[in-house]
Structure 1
Amino acid sequence: MAGSLLGLALMAGMTMPSLAQKNSTNTASTVDFGDDSSDWAKDGECDDPRFTGTGAASELVDADLMKDATDCKAAFEAGTVTLKDSGTSPADIAIATPVNAIDFGDDSSEWAKDGECDDPRFEGTGVADELVDADRLKDATDCKAAYEAGTVTLKESASTPAVAATTTEIDFGDDSSEWANDGECDDPRFTGTGTADELVNADRMKDATDCRAAFEAGTVTLKHGGATPVAGIDYGNDSSEWANDGECDDPRFSGKGVASTTLAEDIKRDATDCRAAVEAGRATYNGEQQAAAFDFGSDFSRWANDGECDDLRFQGAGVDKKLLSEDLMGDATDCRTLLEEGKISIRKVYTPEYAAGAPYDGSDIDFGDNSSSYANDDECDDPRFEGPGAATTLLDSDRLADADDCKAAYEAGTIALIED
């Protein structure tokens, strides 16, 4: 009976359906099978999770996306696998943004080329479980492959470009950074593939040539998009030691009206100066940033809670006249209260920003020689310096007599020169 039916079918000019017809919308030449870099390549099964069918492995993982070309191509041509999504190929998938319109960046992430997209600008089944901002624009190969495969999409916020500033609107500063003119933008106000891997606040507005070139080349953009309306800025108060000196000392701002050195402790504490500078067009608000964490310590000092700050890391009217090294980090409540009231300030060398700005160039400082009996003991004994890298007891006889120790500590950011 079956033979009769087959004969009738052939006589009627009918053809028997084959598995290969399932792939009629795609041919092997239109599918990008990738390469054979999977651990399971060439094992006779298709391990690429874009495919489905009897020729596919029982367990498929995204790490093998486009990495089992030989097996999958053979299975595809044999009709034992088809592309998922009704046989559409990655090239046929409608995507919100053309691939060539996306800057995927580079592969400098620690997790680049692991088969998952680690760039937090993307979302979908092809992204890693944990995404961090440090990997933005740093997993190009994985993210591009996943985007083309339709397993990730660009988040709406990332696909909508911010209103870009023009070169003439940006104060790039100068080239006083140690890293200026090295081909990378080291100014932390910028982001993009043209910036250095490590950015510190000490280089703000100090790498003008590199950052201008990168900005004009389109490899960096100014963070925080367009400017915030003047009325929308919380300027804070005037509790900074440097308030009302005609310069804006708040590190959230940049421009010609901003002090050359700004500290996180002055965030929202120089309102009058900063408001005036913004309104005059001499300062630009760069967005909110958190004050760097400062460890006040505890209240173990016998002078704690006496209304005066007894910690030698501070200076100002609210600090006790006699400061002892044994009280370092031992008067937290008094010092925190007085700092918040604007009656004391943190000595620059003890701020988190100062340490983060290292290494410092000490070539213009005369460190003297090593004639001190305390030379080369890994502490700076020269009384011209202060900081955590300085000795507890400093003698005038050691002035200019501990060169190697002091030079090393200065460059490491553990001491600062307080007198010439």
Structure 2
Amino acid sequence: MKTTRLMMGGTVLALALALGAPILAQEVDFGDNSSTWADDDQCDDPRFEGPGAALIRSPVDEMRDAADCRAAFEAGEVTLVAVEAPTSPNAEDGGDIDFGDDSGAWANDNECDDPRFGGSLDSHLMADATDCRTAYEAGEVTFEASNEVSGAVQPVDGIDFGDDSGAWANDGECDDPRFGGSLASHEFADATDCRTAYEAGQVTYDAPDDTSAAGDIDFGDDAGTFANDGECDDPRFGGSLTSHEMADATDCRTAYEAGEVTYDAPDDGGSDVSVNDIDFGDDSGTWANDDECDDPRFGGSLDSHLMADASDCRTAYEAGEVTYTPSDESGADVAIGDIDFGDDSGNWANDGECDDPRFGGGLDSHRLADATDCREAFEAGDVTYLGDGTGAVIIDGIDFGDDSGTYSNDAECDDPRFTGSGVGVALDDHLMADATDCSTAYTDGTVTLADESGSGGSNGDFRINFGDDSSASAHDGVCDDPRFQGRGGALELLEANMLADATDCRTAYDAGTVTYNP
């Protein structure tokens, strides 16, 4: 109705202007007040000009600022510009456009994503029909048949530069490997830098060979623990779980077809492995986030940081400072099918915690006896497989010994060579005899190897855990801990004061007035 009214009004006005007859306000169809700038005392309708008209007038406000324009027109502050009978807002009839279908992941969300109408998703070319037809008919978008690539950076010579989503985008250096850049993670993600360099003749374009269609990819099945959770975990598509390779099919197919992930076919690489093919692990290591990669798979020197220094190692790998060598030893790279998880015969099986010491658990009695918990933790990347060996435990060059101590496997490190919150009672007879407890605590960062030089006293072979000052008799100048005897100790030694009078006992021990006799 509005279009018909506009056409009729335009015809009358054009005739009146042609005949030189004065135009009266009642002969002008001023429209309505639906403009954002309506009722601001300036005429924003582009059909009018004069001192009462806004300096900037947009076609979108045509016939949408009635009150302002009528007042200005009647006051003689604006005049009506000669108009032609208007055409449809879009030059091309909607009936001539193939809008496609609604197969896009974001179809029917009331936003037109087809790049032919200014949308930003290449994957929605001819795949957001309802939204785009509605917007087109409402005059909210226009149709450009040639606009088939989205993003801020449009193609040159048929090249899709992608976008600027990379961490190092807009730094003046092209990092996209298709143009000779060194960061696989920046493929299609450093558009501005690479387009600038390409147009300046500083780089050349090497089209990737992998143009796999979804039909050419074996997505596998949905056997993964986290399959069908709406997130693609397969590392071939940038997922972070090696256990989900070919085991998260539905999520990854959906994401791939929506253009949210890309496919990197696995290879047997080494230093040239794509960053998306590497499971960097997490930042659970004691020395994680110190700007140094300690994971031995990247040349680091700490076995305890295997898959436990992710941020440092990813940064170093992407910067080309380290290379990746898959581990040949038992550990995170062992295929799940090669591990005998045992059964659930342990007392603490099926409690949501892996207690098998082969995976870092603290109960030797649960070796091969906590299968379900350990399998789930391994698949989730929460634990790594340490192997079936029963010999000495050696981490970072430290020989933890074995579990021959009376108090081994009690979740407290009793080896007197260690200090920290994870130490229970430092016992001479547990030297190298509490391996599981101490290696677990060391890996968790709750104990460290003590300085073997000692600090006075009669025994410099180990560091004593003095405990804290929680005793009621603390800070009285007398050592009340029953593990110490001598003239600097209390006459009455109570069990309750063990590990609870640290300051007094350390002072007396350093002064040589007590000796340590656990």
Structures share a fold, TM > 0.5?
A: no
TM-score (norm 1): 0.38
Compare relative contact order (CA 8 Å, sep 6+) and give the higher one, 1 or 2.
Answer: 1
Larger of the two Rg values belongs to structure: 2
TM-score (norm 2): 0.33
